[in-house]
Structure 1
């Protein structure tokens, strides 16, 4: 992609963005409650999907640095990779919760409140960031770079926060996995 006039009207994607922004959290919440019987728990997945979250954070920072250095193709490739990392994370996260019971945080005192604050903000922002990522991506693929830059200034810190706090949540709860 280069700095041309917009190739496509990004507004034609709005309905799809709204649908995906609603459907993804609903499907995840629904599948989170589904337990597959007689299947070996996928208890090996949490460190893998936490690593993917960490990798996503690193990729987001590298993509930010790439665009600051005007390395547009590298930025595009990194952002596409970050999106795919998030998709893989989500699939693994849902698979884990469909085969395993949720782990309870065992910390006491102030650390318990810190954990739940980080977890709650992580969950809320992981839902909120979905339309931001989709809109930002659509504005890039339609060459609507001025609007892309504006929303990317919001999307980047939100997405980075979600990726980093995903790792923090894993680190904080990992001693309590069975």
Structure 2
């Protein structure tokens, strides 16, 4: 068994665990509101524009990372991709913190815009779950220096991750007028 295969196998269990655990934990914590449970915490209402900006930054980083690898700037690409992963983790932490301390905001738009909003929101949520294992597999294949396999899955991962990052900003912009 090659060293690269060992690296991939070493991380496969973690990819499966994280791909299941992250959405389950986020869904569970989404339903927990510390204030309604009697904890004396201030609502973190300042977070949505910050985590929306982080989504926007992630999208920009992904595009620059694609440019970097197409121009054979491998170290730059590697650093940008690690930064994009870090941004996604920061987004997730802030998103959960906001929802654990604040009441959910209802979208107030009417007519066709309501359908657009919910389409964007639902596709964003579904693909944000799908992207977790894709990012992890893509990253592990790079770590294992399986660049042929890395490139193959990155062609799937990149557009989905970019869509999730951009639609995160769109969802925020569409719902922001309805924040209390």
Task: Please state which band the TM-score falls in when normalised by the shorter chain.
Answer: over 0.9
Partner deviation per Cα, 1:150-177 (whole Å, 9 max, x = no partner): 0000000000000000000000000000
Q: Distance in 2 between matches of 1:7 and 1:115?
A: 43
Distance 1:172 1:9 in 2: 43
What is the Cα deviation at residue 7 of structure 1? 7.8
Contact 1:119 1:169 in 2 (8 A): yes
Partner residue in 2 for 1:15? 13
The offset of 1:39, in angstroms, is 1.0
Find the aligned partners of 1:43 and 1:75 in 2 and give their Cα distance. Answer: 34
> 1:161, 1:7 → 2: CA distance?
30
Structure 1 CA distance, aligned partners of 2:76 and 2:6? 22
Equivalent positions of 1:110-121 (< 5 A) are: 110-121=112-123
**How far apart, in 1, do the equivalents of 2:130 and 2:88 lie?**
14
Q: Which residue of 2 aligns with 1:74?
A: 76
Which residue pairs with 1:35 in the alignment?
A: 33
Cα deviations by residue, 1:114-137 (Å, 9 ceiling, x for unpaired) = 000000000000000000000000
Three-state SS of the structure 1 residue aligned to 2:177 is helix
Give the aligned partner of residue 25 of structure 1.
23
After superposition, the C-alpha distances for 1:73-93 in whole angstroms (9 at most, x for unaligned) are 000000000000000000000
> Which secondary structure state, in structure 2, belongs to the residue aligned with residue 39 of structure 1?
coil
1:28-177 to 2 correspondence within 5 Å? 28-37=26-35, 38-177=40-179
- Aligned partners of 1:177, 1:32: CA distance in 2, in Å? 17
Q: Flag the structure with more relative contact order, 1 or 2, with Cα contacts below 8 A and sequence separation at least 6.
A: 1
Q: Which runs of 5+ in 2 are unaligned?
A: none
Partner-residue secondary structure (3-state), 2:33: coil
In structure 1, stretches of 5+ residues that fail to align are none
